[in-house]
Amino acid sequence: MIIAVDGPTASGKGTIARALAEHFGLPVLDTGLLYRAVGYQTQLNHGDPDDSADALAACDFPDTLLGDPALRYESTGGLASRVSIHPAVRKALYQRQVDFANQPGGAVLDGRDIGTVIAPHADAKLFVTASAEERTRRRHAEMLARGVAVTYDAVLANIHARDARDTGRADAPLLCADDALLLDNSDMDIGETIAAAIAFVEQKVGRPA
Ligand code: DC
């Protein structure tokens, strides 16, 4: 069984993907981490993330980079969003994601284009979202808890910029697949969102867990 989980930044899609993977006993891939690794490697190479050739050269990043805590930084998310615009980068990362999705037994993948490009044949597709204000509130609280001094307005501006770039790019933009469940969790807590996601997948594949 293949489960595709797409959505904008700070929507909770990663948490939901991990919960679905645990519930259904499937491996999970956070595809954003691959784009984060390319963005961060571009910076390590002193390259320009807006330059397609520089970003493509960084697609050769070593696998050990995927464990680097710097990939989780907010600034790395911004670099990832910038390198992800280039079709050459998307092409370079394509096969790795397709192979993960199509492994025997299936998988859960989360990202922006899983249900539309990487696994259009997925058995269940979810598009997880929340209002920009609610996503900002969550991301802001999380950053303050980690000791990062940042204002709500700065986080909101950053989320608007990421949304605009991820949704507005020509190649594989962030969009809800026609056959995906739109799960807006603006007024739900994470437990309710996970329960709704599990119920949807069970109903979609026609078997209780
Ligand atoms: O999910 P994330 O915040 O870790 O993703 C970082 C950036 O990577 C996101 O802003 C856009 C890009 N991305 C993408 O273009 N396609 C994906 N499948 C996953 C992430």
Residues paired with 150 in a beta bridge: none
Residue 176 counted as domain residue:
yes
Is the separation of the CB atoms in 166 and 8 below 8 Å?
Answer: yes
The amino acid at 83:
V
Classify 12 in phi/psi space as left (phi over 0), alpha (psi -120 to 50) or beta.
left
Sheet holding 2-6, edge to edge: 28-30, 107-111, 2-6, 124-129, 181-184
CATH code, 29? 3.40.50.300
Structure tokens at 195: 């329960």
pLDDT of residue 199: 97
Residue 52 counted as domain residue:
yes
Query: Measuring from atom 12 of ligand 1, which residue has the nearest CA?
Result: 81
Residue 186 counted as domain residue:
yes
Name the residue of 112, 127, 135, 162 to mutate for ligand 1: max ligand atoms within 8 A of Cβ.
Answer: 112
Half-sphere exposure of residue 46: CA atoms within 13 angstroms, side-chain side: 0
**For the segment 58-68, what is each residue's pLDDT rounded down to a tens digit?**
999 999 999 99
Structure tokens at 25: 């006993």
Strands 124-129 and 107-111: unpaired
Residue 69 counted as domain residue:
yes
At 144, phi and psi to the nearest 5?
-60, -40
158 CB near ligand 1 (under 6 Å)? no
In the predicted model, what is the mean pLDDT of residues 73-79?
92
77 CB near ligand 1 (under 6 Å)? yes
By percentage, how much of the chain surpasses pLDDT 90?
Answer: 93
**For the segment 127-155, what is each residue's pLDDT rounded down to a tens digit?**
999 999 999 999 999 999 989 899 999 99
Reported pTM: 0.95
Q: Which domain holds residue 167?
A: 2-204
Q: How far apart are the first and last CA of the chain?
A: 12
In the predicted model, what is the mean pLDDT of residues 86-91?
98
3-state SS assignment for residue 40: helix
Is the separation of the CB atoms in 183 and 176 below 8 Å?
Answer: no
Structure tokens at 161: 């910029």
In the predicted model, what is the mean pLDDT of residues 86-94?
98
CB count, 10 Å around CB of 36? 27
pLDDT of residue 28: 98
Residue 185 counted as domain residue:
yes
Domain count within the chain: 1
**For the segment 2-50, what is each residue's pLDDT rounded down to a tens digit?**
999 999 999 999 999 999 999 999 999 999 999 999 999 999 999 999 9
Distance in Å, CA 6 to ligand 1 centroid: 10
